[in-house]
Amino acid sequence: MSADPSRRRWLQAAGASLAGLWLAACNKLTENPTSAGVLKSAEGLTRRVQRLVTNRTALAREFTPADISPDFRPNGSTNPQDPAYQAHVQSGFADWRLVVDGLVERPLTLSLADLRRLPTRSQITRHDCVEGWSSIAKWTGASLGPLLDMAGLKPNARYIVLHCADSLEETLDGTGQYYESIDLIDAFHPQTILAYAMNDRPLPVPHGAPLRLRVERQLGYKHAKYVMRLEAVADFAHIGRGKGGFWEDRGYEWYAGI
Amino acid sequence: MTAAATAAARERPRKVLVHRHAAATRLTHWVNVLALAFLLMSGLQIFNAHPALYWGAKSVFAHPWLAMDAADKAGQPIGVTTLAGHRFETTGLFGWSGKPGMGEPRGFPAWATVPSYRDLADGRRWHFFFAWLFVLNGLAYLILSLINRHLQRDLWPKRWQLRPAHVWHEIVTHAQLKFPKGEAARTYNILQKLSYLAVILVLLPLMLATGLTMSPGFNAAAPWLLDLFGGRQSARSIHFISAALIVLFVVVHLIMVVASGTWNNIRSMITGRYAIEVDDVARGDARQGDAR
C-alpha cells in the first residue's frame, strides 16, 4: 500500500471527478428523452407481467379492526381551497352530485344518498403511498362495477377517468386539477369502490370528502380524492397533459401496482 | 490454456495463467455490477421520499426504528439519524446535506442517489428498469452456472472445507491477508464460497422477494410473501437491511480484490485468465499472483 500523500491526493481527486461525472451522466440520462424512454419501457413490462401472474379478481389483503391506523396520514390535497368545493363543504355536501358520463348509454347524476343505496362494500385495507409508507383504514362505499353497469358502458370505453374537485397545483391552463384514470380490469375489481365512509364515519375532508376511489392493488396516488365526475373514455390523451393522471403528467407511472 | 501456460512459464517461470472464470460468469458479473450500482443509488432516492423504516404491515409514524430527519439546533439546520430510539447528529451525511448555503433536508446525500436531485418519479423509473435487468441477468447466471457446473463445481463447498478447523484456519490467514497460493489458489477457498453463496442464494433473492412484497399489485398475486416477511413495512425494512449487507459484502470483496492482487483479479474477471504461482515460494511474502 502506498502512503505517498501526492498519490493519495491524486486518487481522491480522480475519485471525486469520477463520482461527479457519474452523477452528471445519470442526471443527463434522466432528462434525455431517448434514455428516459428506455427506462420507461420497464413500466409496460411490469404491468403486463403483474397482470399475467395475477388473477383479475385476486384480492388485496384485508385486515382486522385492530390493525386500523390511528395515525393515517392524509397526503396531496388535504383541504382544497377551490371555491366550488368550499361551497360544498359549507352546505355539508347537500347539493353535491356525482356525474357519470362519457362513453355510457345512460349518463347518471347521483347524490350521496343515491350512492348509499347502491351495492356497498366495506373493507379494511392498507394504503401504500408511493413515498413508501403504509396506513390501514376501513373503507365503505359503492362498488364501482355495478355502478358502471347501471350507466351501461359503450363498447369502445376502455378507461374510467375520475375528475376531482381539487387543484393540487396552480396552473393557467387548468392542468393542475387532480384527476386519475383506471382501466376496466381495475374498475370492475370487487374491491374497487367509491368510498363515502372511512372507519365507519363520513369520509373526512383531508381524506377526500365526500367521495374517493379505492383501487386496492395500486399505490396511493391512484386513489383519487374529492371525486366529482366519472368519465368513460376510449383514451385519455386529451385530458390534462395526456398521461392519465395528475401525477402521471408529472412523471409517475400510470400503472402503480408496484 | 496449455499454450498460454507455457508462454507464461517461459517469461516468468513461477507464474502460470489459468482459466479462472467462464465467459458467462464474467459477463453476468459486470452486468450485475451495473445493475446493483443503479439499484442502490435509485433505491436511496426512493428511500429519501420517506426516510423512515418500520416493522409490521403499517407505518406507526411516531415509532420508526430508523429515521433520517432535519432538525434545528440553535437556529442552524442539522441532520439527525434516529436508530432504535438513539439519536445521532449526522449533518452533511444523513438528514441534512448539500453544498454550503445550499443544504436541504434529505435522507441520503445527493452523491449517493440517482438522480442526484430529489425526484421520486425518476428514481422509481431507474429502479424498476434495473430491477428487470438484475432479475434477467440473475436468472441467466443461475441457469448457465448450473449447466456449466460452476455452481456445483466451483462454489459448492467440499465436505473437508467445512470442517471447523479448516474454516478457522482460513479466517485466521485471511485476517492476516495471507491467501492460498499455488494449486490451492486455483479454486475458491471456503470463505469465498460461503460468502458468494450467501450473496447469490440468500441476499440477492431476498432483495427481489422483499422488493416484490412492497408491490400492492404483487401482494394480491402472492399474499404469502406478506406473511413470510411480516408485512409490507417489514419487507421495506428487510429490503433496506439486505441492501446494506450487500454494500458491506462489496466493500469486503473490493478489499480482498486489492489485497490478493488487484490487476490479476480484475484481469481474471475480464479475460478469464488468472495468474497463479506453481512453485511455492519459501519466503514469507504471502501475496500471490501479483502480476506487477
Could you state, in order of their start, the residue ranges of all structural domains in chain A? 59-250
- Are B217 and A126 within 8 A, CB to CB? no
For A31-45, what is the mean pLDDT? 88
Least confident window among A210-219, A221-230, B171-180, B244-253: B171-180
DSSP, residue by residue, A96-107: --EEEEESBSS-
- The pTM (predicted TM-score) of the whole model is 0.91
The pLDDT of residue B13 is above 70: no
Residue A67 in 3-state DSSP? helix
Q: Which residue has the cell 442526471?
A: A27
| pLDDT at A6 exceeding the cut of 80 | no
Could you tell me if B120 lies within 8 Å of chain A, comparing CB atoms? yes
Q: Which residue in B50, B54, B217 is closest to A258 by CB distance?
A: B217
Q: Given its phi and psi angles, is residue A47 left (phi above 0), alpha (psi -120 to 50 degrees) or beta?
A: alpha
- Reply yes or no on whether the pLDDT at B286 is more than 80: no
- pLDDT of the residue at B1: 45
User: Counting one residue from A and one from B, how many pairs have CB atoms under 8 Å apart?
Assistant: 136
Residue type, B224: W
CB contact under 8 A, A50 and B46: no
Q: Is A2 on the interface with B (CB under 8 A)?
A: no
A59-250: which CATH number, 3.30.70.3000, 3.40.50.1000, 3.90.420.10, 3.40.50.2300? 3.90.420.10
Residues of chain B with pLDDT > 70, as a percent, come to 91
Which among A19, A43, A131 is the nearest to B128, CB-wise? A43
Give the A window 72-91 contacts with B, CB below 8 Å: 73
Contact between B128 and A135 using a beta-carbon 8 Å cutoff: no
Q: Over 80: is that where the pLDDT of B8 sits? A: no
CA B239 to chain centre: 13
Is A37 an 8 Å CB contact of chain B? no
Contacts B219 to A, Cβ<8 Å: 60-61, 217
Question: Hey, is the C-beta of A212 within 8 angstroms of any chain B C-beta?
Answer: no
Render pLDDT for B108-139 as a digit per residue (tens, 0 to 9). 999 999 999 999 999 999 999 999 999 999 99
Instruction: Tell me the backbone φ, ψ of residue B130, rounded to 5 degrees.
Output: -75, -20
Distance CA B288, CA B280 (A): 10
**Cβ A27–B115 below 8 Å, yes or no?**
yes
Tens of pLDDT, residues A159-170: 999 999 999 998
Summary mean pLDDT of chain A? 94
Please report, for chain B, the start and end positions of each structural domain, with discontinuous segments joined by +: 2-54+109-277, 55-107
- Chain B touched by A257 (CB under 8 Å): yes
> CA-nearest residue of chain B to A216?
B216
Report the alpha-carbon distance of residue A207 to residue A115 in Å, rounded: 18
Distance in angstroms (rounded) separating the CA atoms of residues A138 and A150: 26
User: Could you report the per-residue pLDDT of A98-132, keeping only the tens digit for each?
Assistant: 999 999 999 999 999 999 999 999 999 999 999 99
- Banded model confidence at residue B279, pLDDT cuts 50, 70, 90: low
Which positions in chain B touch A67 (Cβ < 8 Å)? 57-58
Asked if residues A230 and A164 have their Cβ atoms less than 8 Å apart, the reply is no
| pLDDT tens string B35-85 | 999 999 999 999 999 999 999 999 999 999 999 999 999 999 999 999 999
Q: Work out the minimum CA distance from A27 to partner chain B, whole angstroms.
A: 5
ipTM: 0.92
pLDDT at A33: 84
B residues 48-77 near A, CB within 8 Å? Answer: 49-50, 52, 54, 57-62
Q: How many Å apart are CA B216 and CA B218, to the nearest integer?
A: 6
pLDDT confidence of B285, banded at 50, 70, 90?
Answer: very low
Judged on CB neighbours under 10 Å (0-12, 13-18, 19+), A101 is: middle
Percentage of residues of chain B with pLDDT beyond 90: 83
Whether B224 contacts chain A with CB within 8 A:
no
User: What integer pLDDT is reported at residue B179 of this predicted model?
Assistant: 87
What are the residues facing A194 on neighbouring strands?
A142, A213
What is residue A17's predicted lDDT score, i.e. its pLDDT?
A: 82
Q: Which of residues 223-252 of A touch B (CB under 8 A)?
A: 247, 250-252
Backbone phi and psi for residue A245, each to the nearest 5 degrees, phi listed first: 175, 165
CA–CA distance from A178 to each of A65, A251, B20, B143 (Å)? 31, 14, 58, 47
* Helical ranges in chain B per DSSP H: 2-11, 23-48, 120-147, 164-175, 190-197, 204-213, 216-221, 224-229, 232-259, 262-270
Helices (H), chain A: 5-31, 33-53, 83-90, 112-117, 144-151, 184-187
* Nearest-10 Cα torsion for A238, A240, A242, A246: -150
Domain B2-54+109-277 CATH superfamily: Transmembrane di-heme cytochromes, Chain C (1.20.950.20)
Q: Write the pLDDT tens digit of every residue in A225-240.
A: 999 999 999 999 999 9
DSSP states of B9-38 as a string? HHHSTTEEEEE-S-HHHHHHHHHHHHHHHH
User: Which residue is closest to A134 within chain B, CA to CA?
Assistant: B58
Minimal Cα–Cα distance from A31 to chain B, Å? Answer: 9
- pLDDT tens-digit readout, B148-200: 999 999 999 999 999 999 999 999 999 998 888 888 888 999 999 999 999 99
